[in-house]
Each structure stands twice: as C-alpha cells, then as structure tokens.
Amino acid sequence: MDHIAYCGLNCETCEARIATVRDDDTLRRQVAKEWSELNGVGITPEMINCVGCRIDGPKTPYCESLCPIRQCALGKKVETCGSCREMKACEKLAAITNGNPDALLRLERM
C-alpha cells in the first residue's frame, strides 16, 4: 500500500524506483535519457534515485519538490488523493488519472 503514490500510480513499477532498489546505474542512465527527451529537460542519472513518493528516502527532484499532486497532498496531510474530498474535481490529479484509469481505481479503493 505504501508504494501507491498520492496520485494512485504504482511506484513499484516506476523505472526510477526499480533502478534505485537494484542500484542499477545502467537503468538510471537509460531512464535519465528517456525522461530528458520526453520532458525536454536535462535529467542526469544521479537524479534517478527514488524509493517512492510516500516512503521516507530518496526521491527524484521532480517527485521531491516539483510534483504538484505530491505537494498538495502533503499540504492537506492526506494519505493519498483518494482521501481528499476534492479528488473528483481536481485538475492536477486529472492530469494523471485521465490517462491512467488504473490509478483512479486504486484511489477509489483506498
């Protein structure tokens, strides 16, 4: 349950978490390259170090301080967005759940 992100994504399937848990520098380089191209920003392999957004430990710079969903959930002190009364109308969350119905289902079940 701790590996479900505030937004409902499953952190256990995230390549950044997998690279961190396995201490896999080859995967870190691959993820950094892929995410840099996808997001149009410079991401280094050293930034690919994350155990999950709701678990104590390292996080990618995005997950740590830039993710608007994580920042909102931390501010509201909710376990996940599934605990928030505004979940259904949240535009920040919709950016994830509109393209990932499994994330929404996880939140609704929590």
CA 61 to chain centre: 11
Q: Quote the mean pLDDT of the chain.
A: 94
Over 90: is that where the pLDDT of 78 sits? yes
The whole-model pTM stands at 0.87
Q: Can you tell me the distance from the alpha carbon of 78 to that of 94, in angstroms, rounded to the nearest whole number? A: 17
The per-residue pLDDT for 2 is 78
pLDDT at 110 over 90: no
The mean pLDDT value for 7-17 works out to 95
Return the percentage of the chain with pLDDT > 90, whole number: 94
- Annotated domain spans of the chain: 11-109
The strand pairing partners of 4, in sequence order, are 10
Segment 15-61, tens digit of pLDDT: 999 999 999 999 999 999 999 999 899 999 999 999 999 999 999 99
User: In sequence order, what DSSP letters do the residues of 6-71 get, joined into one string?
Assistant: TTS-BGGG-HHHHHHHHT-HHHHHHHHHHHHHHHTS---GGG---S-TTSSS---HIIIII-HHHH
Per-residue pLDDT for 1 more than 80?
Answer: no
